[in-house]
């Protein structure tokens, strides 16, 4: 079994020629065949091409970069040339007319991964156009949590998180607009990093809300997260919102020393409705940091309670604009019979989009319309500034902030079906960082005794559901977060 290796482990074995790249890729493809019928994390398998690529890499025999020959899965919103990309929406799936969207170009992230020899083995499930927190709104059906298949994997990058947790790949990439990497990472027990807005390029990744969207990895260890970030982060001439700031060596940041670090515990994240086991684990985590020499400081982020409402105005506003391009003319779904152009648009969009996407288009259009713009959109922008200020004030006093990733462990499939507000509240600990544009990471916690390896694999019987610890840092504070996560996870 090679598919359960981390990037670091697999790289060592490839380099010493203990294993071949073809064997490694094959082992992930076999695992997909074996377990994905139950989990439904993978919506497209790129088997043949991946094996061809692997054979070429084996023949070249050079494994200088830690990602050379490493198989990964990409969320179904990353454009990869010639590989069907559908955002898990009937709008692009082309099931009826057979015209599934095939991107003519690569996203910057997949291009950078390809350039160092990482191998794309397929596409993972997501909520439709990444709107959701359970991967239940996908046109391919729900992704199940590998730890308990009666539960969701979280979302919207639920496919990527579940695939990593079930060892269907060595690592995966996802997107985090309002928590979509951290939420499923928390539910599935893997490592999920949301970077500072602008740290990674959004080019070639289908947009949801452009001022909030970020690109990031889901991995089996902190070290692996650093390796992927080293490769994908940095300025991109195709995305004007990427930062000029040079990319540090994230691997070198993993010193594991947190002595003297000040870590904030925000009182607003310990609220009614917080699961008692979740609270216990986060307080234990704080103790672990304290035992390692960090100082735990009680802090307040006073505007936290407005974050969900603010996000659910701003996000739909941007969604309503981004979804306008799906008009059935340039790409995507098309319908045969229509009386007029307007009628055609209506038919294409009514048929192609699911309920959640339609709901956000309507909320966003309403909030942006004359007469309501000031009351909703402008006001939300003002609150966004206040939320951002909460963090800049807090980071004057502390180096990092910790909290639970989610208020509860993974919920049952269909558990929020009749309660939209409950679904939106899944993001309660995840959207403030998004509004502020700061980085944050979810890492798994364990009830003691901790397993010898911090990873969970599909083969491991788990009597408990994963619980995520969220570590937040100031803008471009990824190194600090990774170092603290590394220290915590090696403990």
Q: Looking at residue 247, what DSSP letter applies?
A: P
Q: Is 131 in the site for ligand GLN (CB under 6 A)?
A: yes
Tell me which of 31, 130, 135, 483 binds ligand GLN, using CB under 6 A.
130
Nearest alpha-carbon partner for 405 in 183, 164, 217: 183
- When the beta carbons of 288 and 471 are compared against ligand GLN, the nearer one is 471
Residues between 49 and 88 with contacts to ligand GLN, criterion CB under 6 A: none
Residue 207 among the catalytic residues: no
**Smallest distance, ligand GLN to C-beta of residue 179, A:** 5
Residues between 154 and 193 with contacts to ligand GLN, criterion CB under 6 A: 156, 175-180
Q: Give burial (CB, 10 Å; 0-12/13-18/19+) of 100.
A: middle
- When the beta carbons of 31 and 433 are compared against ligand GLN, the nearer one is 433
Q: Is 427 in the site for ligand GLN (CB under 6 A)?
A: yes
Residues between 261 and 290 with contacts to ligand GLN, criterion CB under 6 A: none
**Maximum CA pair distance of the chain?**
71
**Smallest distance, ligand GLN to C-beta of residue 27, A:** 30
Residue 444, phi then psi, degrees to nearest 5:
-70, 145
Size (the chain), residues: 491
- Nearest residue relative to ligand GLN (C-beta): 180
Q: Is 132 in the site for ligand GLN (CB under 6 A)?
A: yes
**Smallest distance, ligand GLN to C-beta of residue 131, A:** 5
Residue 180 among the catalytic residues: yes
H/E segment holding residue 485 = helix 478-490
Give me the catalytic one of 157, 180, 201, 403. 180
Q: Is 3 in the site for ligand GLN (CB under 6 A)?
A: no
Give me the catalytic one of 134, 156, 157, 207. 156
C-beta separation of 484 from 258 below 8 A: yes
- When the beta carbons of 178 and 217 are compared against ligand GLN, the nearer one is 178
Nearest alpha-carbon partner for 481 in 425, 433, 435: 433
Nearest alpha-carbon partner for 463 in 478, 451, 476, 480: 451
Q: Is 133 in the site for ligand GLN (CB under 6 A)?
A: yes
Q: Is 208 in the site for ligand GLN (CB under 6 A)?
A: yes
Q: How far is CA 446 from CA 176, 396, 423, 467, 488, in A?
A: 24, 31, 25, 8, 11
C-beta separation of 472 from 481 below 8 A: yes
Residue 321 among the catalytic residues: no
Residues making contact with ligand GLN (CB under 6 A): 130-133, 156, 175-180, 208, 315, 427
* Residues acting as catalytic residues: 75, 156, 180
């Amino acid at each position: 079994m090679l598919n359960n290796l981390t990037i670091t482990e697999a790289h060592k074995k490839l380099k010493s020629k203990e294993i071949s790249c073809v064997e490694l890729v094959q082992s992930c493809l076999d695992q997909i065949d074996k377990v994905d019928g139950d989990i439904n994390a993978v919506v497209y398998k790129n088997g043949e091409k991946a094996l061809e690529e692997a054979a070429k890499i084996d023949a070249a025999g050079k494994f200088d970069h830690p990602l050379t020959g490493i198989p990964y899965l990409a969320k179904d919103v990353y454009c990869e040339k010639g590989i069907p990309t559908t955002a898990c929406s009937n709008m692009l799936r082309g099931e009826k007319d057979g015209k599934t969207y095939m991107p003519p170009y690569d996203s910057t992230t997949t291009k950078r991964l390809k350039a160092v020899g990482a191998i794309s083995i397929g596409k993972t499930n997501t909520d439709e156009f990444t709107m959701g927190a359970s991967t239940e709104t996908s046109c391919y059906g729900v992704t199940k949590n590998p730890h308990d298949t009666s539960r969701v994997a979280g979302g919207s990058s639920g496919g990527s998180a579940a695939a990593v947790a079930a060892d269907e790949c060595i690592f995966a990439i996802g997107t985090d607009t309002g928590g979509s990497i951290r939420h499923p990472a928390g539910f599935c027990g893997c490592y999920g990093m949301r970077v500072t807005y602008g740290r990674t390029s959004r080019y070639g990744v289908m947009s949801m809300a452009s001022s909030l969207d970020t690109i990031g990895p889901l991995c089996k260890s902190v070290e692996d997260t650093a390796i992927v970030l080293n490769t994908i982060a940095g300025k991109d001439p195709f995305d004007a919102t990427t930062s000029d700031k040079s990319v540090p060596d994230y691997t070198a940041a993993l010193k594991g020393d947190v002595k003297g670090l000040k870590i904030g515990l925000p009182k607003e994240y310990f609220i009614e409705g917080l699961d008692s086991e979740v609270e216990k684990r986060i307080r234990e985590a704080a103790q672990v940091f304290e035992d390692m020499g960090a100082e735990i400081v009680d802090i307040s982020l006073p505007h936290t309670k407005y974050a969900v409402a603010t996000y659910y105005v701003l996000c739909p506003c941007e969604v309503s604009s981004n979804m306008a391009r799906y008009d059935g003319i340039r790409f995507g779904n098309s319908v045969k019979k229509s009386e007029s152009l307007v009628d055609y648009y209506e038919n294409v969009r009514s048929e192609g989009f699911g309920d959640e996407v339609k709901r956000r288009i309507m909320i966003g259009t309403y909030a942006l319309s004359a007469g309501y713009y000031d009351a909703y959109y402008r006001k939300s922008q003002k609150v966004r500034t206040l939320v951002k200020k909460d963090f800049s004030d807090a980071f004057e006093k502390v180096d990092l902030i910790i909290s639970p990733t989610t208020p509860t462990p993974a919920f049952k499939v269909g558990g929020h079906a009749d309660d939209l507000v409950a679904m939106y509240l899944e993001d309660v600990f995840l959207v403030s960082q998004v509004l502020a544009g700061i980085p944050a990471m979810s890492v798994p916690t364990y009830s003691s005794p901790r397993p010898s390896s911090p990873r969970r694999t599909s083969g491991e019987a788990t009597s408990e559901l994963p619980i995520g610890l969220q570590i937040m840092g100031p803008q471009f504070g990824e190194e600090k977060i990774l170092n603290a996560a590394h220290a915590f996870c090696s403990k």
